[in-house]
Structure 1
């Protein structure tokens, strides 16, 4: 195997490109956007991802970009603290998603080719490789194609089938937007109403707001209209943040979903990161993406392609499966559906504290 195409220049794609190129593989990374995404909530690098970034020589750079949050404070409509919980422990690093993707991407660009503003439109595989058609560039042939293009993976749709077969909405939605204010760098603040929450994260100097709310899918409804309808009448800083979201050009929104496939590879086409298994609700999906990409690269370095893909999947599923089971429990803890559930959660946190 000498030529690999990685689709997606995010966390999983950049990590995979770095490791493959380091082993001597010719790597091309194609990314449909013109540049790297600037939005998204802070994410974690911990667990199995920690030794990966250390071996990449990036641990200190990531720590320099890290947030300093240590707790989440639950507040009432007036902003008064009513409960608290710790949010950082162990050797984990929390940093803005955009910073993590940028650091990983810059490391990989030294040895892999990155093409922004293009994507794949067709994949035709055979036992020895994949013929790839691009939206912009001329067609090319690669020994392996890896979809690292997230929850809404184009590679998965082209090679495995429509999203309706593999993606299930979990009844939750998330939207994030950057604010202009600065706050206590150690504390995330969150206010709940039944089925809804607004969290304000101090990030690394510029606050980030996250709407987390329950509800069915709303196809065709603009995210800001969905937020307006869902949060009407909710207090604390909600009116202020909604006003900022209306004017923002970096409002990010998605439905929280679970991705499940019987296999993460089909011939010489494979999936990694959220494209293969999207299970995260609290930012730990970034750690799984880093660990999964490194596991895939290590397997490809020592085994024939077909054997390596099976070995990677067997090893990494053991990490993702427990996270998938915990996602539903954590969603009910963060965003209780009823006023009674909110009160019970808050009493439990006060008792533990």
Structure 2
């Protein structure tokens, strides 16, 4: 499920510019629901319409939205909040399937508008969706999404094939804790051969479900959890001179600590990390109070340190730029300096700059 937007054509389509797209992963069958807004109530309402249309029991739903959770509780539907942790990407990326379907239906809409010289398409959207669902797909053996969607035996067969593929795939994964890896930097492709990976090298610190936790050369754990296809194993010999010598050891020590805490306290990996940080984080030391210096107060102007600005003695314009003649406190007159007003306004506090301008104005009034 995803949303796509066609805001430029909102007025021509009864103020409908947001479209909820739902796709059945196995059959590739597409469903689209136009919406006027993307509030939680509207999204849940569209989901309800979709499930009523199916005329069957909903076994499970994935999502972490509170409205979705409430809907699941009300309708006694199992809610999963992290399918990605438990699921491999086997013959296709599920999110990629939705993205491809979105691009395809947008192409259908654009072609319709060009062919008919119009920006109104919402009335024919059901026909465009039906065209998509009745077009043979090569990934379905040249069957149509509607045919596969109505054939439960074929769907069970496809599901078993994917499950077997996942099991076989797991046996081929050559990643384990402590390995050096590069992380994937592009997200648009599905095949590993044409993917691009980082020049930086990381260490696999742990495994959560079917995702990998990696740590950088600075010893910091990367927040994102990576699937196997998002990492490329690096020969340890290549790593020499690229990582600090202690990085891997630090990752291994930290991982052992996390596993120990997680086992003893029954914590998750993330909770165990936080427990360790509480123990290892040094107590905050209150810095001693600084003695008041008898040295003259200084200001920093354009990166240079100067004594405190005492007053503005005059102002003038040079080539359209306002300048002030600055007198420095306890400095001789020959050190007075013309500086741009803009520079002074940036480097002095607003109150100090305003006070200096008032002083100059008052001095002129007295004269």
- Please report the TM-score for the alignment, with normalisation by the length of structure 2: 0.23
Determine which structure has more spread, i.e. the larger CA radius of gyration.
Answer: 2
Question: In proportion to residue count, which structure has more strand?
Answer: 1
Higher relative contact order (CA 8 A, sep 6+): 1
